[in-house]
Chain A
Amino acid sequence: MKLTGAEILIKMIKEQGVRTVFGYPGGATIDIYDELAGHDDLRHVLVRHEQGAVHAADAYARAGSCVGVALVTSGPGATNTVTGIASAYMDSIPVVIFTGQVPTALIGNDAFQEVDIVGITRPCTKHNYLVKDVKDLARTVKEAFFLANSGRPGPVLVDLPKDVVQSVTEFVEPGKISLKTYKPTYKPNKKQVAKVVDLIAKAEKPLIFAGGGVVLSEASEELTKFSRLTNTPVTASLMGLGSFPGNDPLWLGMPGMHGTYRANMSIGECDLMIAVGVRFDDRVTGKVETFAPNADIVQIDIDPTSIHKNIPVSCPIVGDCKETLTMLNKMVAKADKELVCPERIGWLSTINDWKSTTPLRYEQTEDVIKPQYVIERLNELTDGETIITTEVGQNQMWTAQFFHFDKPNHFITSGGLGVMGFGLPAAIGAKAARPDKTVIDIAGDGSIQMNIQELMTAVESDFPVKIVILNNGCLGMVRQWQELFYDKNYSSTLLENSPDFIKIAEAYGAKGLKCTRPDQVDQTLKEGLSFPGTVIMEFKVEEAECVYPMVPAGRAITEMILV
């Protein structure tokens, strides 16, 4: 069967089970778009900026537990994807990005809309390809999906010169992908796992620290079972939120720079830390020398480079989180000794004391809305089935603190790279993957403006999303640092001029709701949540509100500034 490169591309994308592609056309991809138009079973969502395409694909992958796909043109189309790719790379999200490229004969000639995107994205992709011969296309596409979604997942970019997608070749179905240089370790070493059982039996103050790896390997159930079998409290990184029920008595909240008091104190005091699918980011560890100073640390991760990278570990286990926890649970169930030593009761009551004496707190007054209050009310008024995306900054941290996530893949945020402008396109991607769910982007007045053009995508594509803008009239997180550490020198952080968000919503064909008083918060949220289309709910909130607790940069995480 003779096929063009474009036909092969679409055929192979569909064979990977993809039903939705996010993209933006251009000169170098016009042949692909010509082919795409004839395929009713592969939906193309036209974004309004290529960055949005990758964020949407990223969230689509997370909400749908599949691979997200973005399709963009050469040159600026390709460079616009870099932020999205770098974010997916930091968060280990399976995304395949197809970029157009100038014809092979022109590569290297500084042709119109030419850029070396393979060179540019080498350090922020798991792998990338330039397809120079149409005969290699089918196999390369299949390999790209395989790499993106196996081992530690990540973005893979495939660069497609225009003549390659135009040329015709005999289509040969690529066989099973097997790479001699790439064999991720899924099965953990049994002896190492057995050591964990001994460690937990001895531990007086054990602690589980879960991360994005638990979510990615779909190991939440196994994690929850392990925690309950051994009566071990759980903290989870930003990427791990939802991997353990947020209302469970053993739940401690998020640790780190804006972690809960009890989570950070638990890390400081624990004598055993079982770290599952985490990479010990600096925002979690604070000063590394003082991180979990009394603990034996067990680290379970599928990526060997995550182990010993930032924190020395006494019991490393390379393996898939789910397989490892499953094996561990079996060993725990069969263990012939008592796994919960009597001192454990004291540990749990110490943690409870921390919780009751120093909870997360803020003071809601009568006249000004506190941002935390909006998120708490949103948590109350939604049913635990809602998918939340965020932008980056205070809005992200308050969401992590005050919204309780019970399930994995319901909190979608740019954790590692910290991309302002992530939340809105991500909400669209999540809604595309899960049209049955309510999807809410929690934003600030600064970050919403970074990709606000995607409002058009949401309205047009019929993927209605809810946007909560916590409008504090400033770039709150930087303002907070300036207040605390830079003598209140609010350099370039006060947004004195912002657009009328209600009019913006209406201009794009969405609904806009504005709330300025605490006693109207519930009413506004209810109205916005029940509206069937895309809606912006703008809350005028306290400007000077800071995220607490806060650990100053470079300090031990037990040295928190409290409210």
Chain B
Amino acid sequence: MSCNKYLLSILVDNEPGVLSRIAGLFSGRGFNIDSLSVAKTTDPGQSRITMVTKCEPSIIEQIKKQLNKLINVITVNDLTEKRYVQRQLSMVKVHAHIDKRAEVLRIVDIFRCRVVDVGHEHYTVEISGDDEKLEAFLSLLKPMGIIEIVSTGSIAVARENV
């Protein structure tokens, strides 16, 4: 069976142990977490978890129902089939010898990202965007020699219905 990618936006009580309940639910039932991002919301009593999970279509219903069953989960919003804006932030440390420096900067310029640290042999570039943009960016940087990538999980917000 084929695995699909799902993007869930989960509103939870901002309490100790809540993340552990969610992580425990996934590990205990053999569900898989692709990426995870947690932060407070405007209400300090609540946190927003954005999660990407890969599973078969028959499993996602069970995942959503099991999440809803947790007492500390307020809402589970499946953004996958909706219109949403998604972002992920990555910091990419890339080799930048004297002969490649201009090319790296050209790519940075094309993708409208920016250099946040520079050394004799490297640049560190900050980029944010959706999955596709980040993938395209990395594929172009790869020939230069990527030293290290640090990324956040995805965050996403539903678009307003116009």
Contacts and interface: CB of A to CB of B under 8 A. Distances in A.
Interface string A486-505: 00000000000000000000
Contact of B62 (A126, A127, A181, A309): A309
B17 interface: yes
B74 interface: yes
Nearest to A184: B69
A180 B75 CA distance: 10
Interface in B1-22: 13, 17, 20-21
A207 B129 CA distance: 55
Given A118-B17, A119-B20, A304 B74 contact: no
A182 interface: yes
Contact of A179 (B20, B24, B62, B71): B71
Contacts of A182: 71
The DSSP consensus for interface residues of chain B is helix
Contacts of B65: 304-305
Interface in A306-357: 308-309
B162 to A, nearest CB: 30
A118 B16 CA distance: 11
B: interface residue count bin: 10 to 19
Given A119-B20, A181-B13, A127 B61 contact: no
A147 interface: yes
B61 A308 contact: yes
Contact of B17 (A122, A123, A147, A181): A122
A279 to B, nearest CB: 12
Contacts of A126: 71
B62 A308 contact: yes
B74 to A, nearest CB: 5
The 4 closest A-B pairs by CB, nearest first: A305-B65, A127-B71, A123-B28, A304-B65
Given A181-B73, A308-B61, A309-B62, 16 more contacts: A119-B17, A122-B20, A122-B21, A122-B24, A123-B24, A127-B71, A130-B17, A181-B13, A181-B72, A181-B74, A303-B69, A304-B65, A304-B69, A305-B62, A308-B58, A308-B62
21 contacts: A118-B17, A119-B17, A119-B20, A122-B17, A122-B20, A123-B25, A126-B71, A130-B17, A147-B71, A180-B74, A181-B13, A181-B73, A181-B74, A182-B71, A303-B69, A304-B68, A305-B62, A305-B66, A308-B58, A308-B62, A309-B62
Interface of A: 118-119, 122-123, 126-127, 130, 147, 179-182, 303-305, 308-309
